[in-house]
């Protein structure tokens, strides 16, 4: 379990030719996503291909999320099914001559997973890749399971207007500052938090600073600057002791990145 993500790993002791355990089918059906490691020897395993077929079926039928890792293999080789892949399928087709539908299903599943954008492990550290995958899955989980508040009147129109102002997907390097103003209790922070959860994954970095006025009064602006940087660069520590140094570091580290920052309950700007 990492970052609150409950994982299920398939049975490494399962021998070739044995049926997939019911627990694995159950895990696939009940899971939100599957991370598939596609190696050079992957296609030689009928068990792996049967598992892949089930995952792709869940993706097509129920929107199951699939994250492929191409472990020193080229997706085009999997897609075209040449070389080692072709060799593997010739073996399977010989072993399952009375069940051509099965091998065709495997071929289709392999083609589909090869067409999904994934990670390529070549000339990079595995630990770096694992961290990137965890971050991606965590972000997608937050985005998927964020529920819209149901007690806000006119929420849909407000969300649409705010999304238009933010201009996601537009090629624009300018800095945008959007204010949500109004009396207390209108749901400004709730609206901002929901939009943040929905779209922050589209940015290179994100930060949600809540209760800014109270925190600034209690801990000072330097504390808030460090909080901002720590949320965006979670693996780094920052040591500065005045606002001017903090401003310099923020400008230097964020000026070339696409960042989404929400500052809630703020009346000090």
Domain architecture of the chain: domains with CATH: 22-138 (3.40.50.10140), 149-263 (no CATH)
Is 54 in the active site?
Answer: no
Give the three-class secondary structure for 251.
helix
pLDDT of residue 124: 73
Catalytic residue selected from 15, 50, 51, 128: 51
Can you give the pTM of this predicted structure?
0.52
Q: What share of the chain is helix, strand, coil (3-state, %, to 5)?
A: 50, 10, 35
| Closest among 17, 180, 166, 176 to 91, alpha carbons compared | 17
Cα separation of 262 and 164, whole Å? Answer: 16
Cα separation of 27 and 21, whole Å? Answer: 10
pLDDT of residue 181: 80
Cα separation of 188 and 209, whole Å? Answer: 14
pLDDT in tens, the chain (269 residues): 444 455 666 655 544 445 556 777 788 887 888 999 999 899 999 989 999 999 999 999 888 889 999 999 999 999 999 999 999 999 999 999 989 999 999 999 999 999 999 998 876 778 888 888 877 777 666 655 555 555 555 666 766 777 777 765 555 677 888 888 877 777 788 888 888 877 777 788 889 898 888 889 999 999 999 999 988 887 788 889 999 999 999 999 998 888 889 998 776 55
Number of neighbouring beta carbons within 10 Å of residue 171: 5
Cα separation of 114 and 116, whole Å? Answer: 6
pLDDT of residue 90: 95
């Amino acid at each position: 379990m990492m970052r609150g993500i409950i994982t299920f790993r398939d049975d490494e002791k399962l021998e070739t030719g044995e049926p997939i355990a019911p627990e694995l089918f159950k895990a696939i059906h009940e899971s939100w996503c599957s991370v598939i490691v596609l190696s050079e020897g992957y296609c030689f395993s009928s068990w792996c291909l049967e598992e892949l077929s089930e995952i792709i079926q869940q993706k097509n039928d129920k929107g199951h999320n699939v994250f492929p890792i191409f472990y020193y293999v080229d997706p085009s080789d999997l897609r075209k099914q040449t070389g080692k892949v072709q060799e593997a399928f010739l073996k399977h087709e010989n072993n399952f001559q009375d069940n051509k539908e099965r091998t065709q299903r495997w071929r289709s599943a392999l083609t589909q997973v090869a067409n999904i954008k994934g990670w390529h492990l070549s000339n990079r550290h595995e630990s770096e890749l694992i961290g990137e995958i965890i971050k991606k899955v965590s972000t997608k989980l937050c985005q998927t399971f964020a529920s819209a508040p149901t007690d806000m009147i006119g929420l849909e129109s407000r969300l649409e207007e705010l999304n238009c102002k933010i201009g996601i997907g537009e090629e624009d390097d300018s800095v945008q500052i959007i204010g949500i103003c109004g009396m207390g209790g209108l749901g400004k922070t709730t609206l901002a938090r929901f939009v943040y959860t929905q779209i922050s994954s589209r940015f290179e970095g994100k930060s949600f600073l809540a209760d800014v006025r109270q925190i600034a009064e209690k801990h000072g602006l330097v504390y808030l600057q460090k909080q901002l940087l720590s949320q965006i660069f979670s693996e780094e520590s920052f040591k500065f002791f005045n606002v001017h140094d903090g401003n310099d570091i923020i400008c230097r580290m964020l000026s070339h990145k696409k960042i989404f920052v929400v500052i809630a309950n703020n009346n000090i700007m």
